[in-house]
Amino acid sequence: MTREKKILPKEDLPCHEGDDEGFVSVKDCTEDFFERNASCSLPWRRGVNGHLEPCETEEHFKAYYVFFDSLIFATNKQIFDKTGCYQKCSFKVSSIWKIATQ
């Protein structure tokens, strides 16, 4: 079952309204944030930080792991506060429900 979920933008937690043109997903945004702060670009993506040297050292990848590990259980608000990244106001949610009928 798929349904559309809508959230309202809040003063302390915005969300993206409108079409996808120019919108950067939370995943891409957080990876861009990491690259800018680590001063290296992740080798598996071609983000806006292509001018940076590739992340190649053990220290770079440890920092990547620590950074994204800190976001695993973070709320949308915590991610926004840390990175400035936010989600769409409207998105699809899929779930599997077993419906019993008698």
Q: Where are the domains of the chain?
A: 2-94
Q: Are 82 and 74 in contact (CB under 8 A)?
A: yes
Is 0.85 topped by the overall pTM? Answer: no
pLDDT in tens, 34-69: 999 999 999 888 767 888 999 999 999 999 999 999
> HSE on the CB side for 14, CA within 13 Å?
9
Rounded distance, CA 81 to CA 17, Å? 19
More confident residue, 67 or 99: 67
Q: What is the DSSP string of 12-52?
A: TB--B-S-STT---HHHHHHHHHHHHHTSB-TT---TTTTS
Worst-scoring range by mean pLDDT, 6-10, 78-82, 96-100? Answer: 96-100
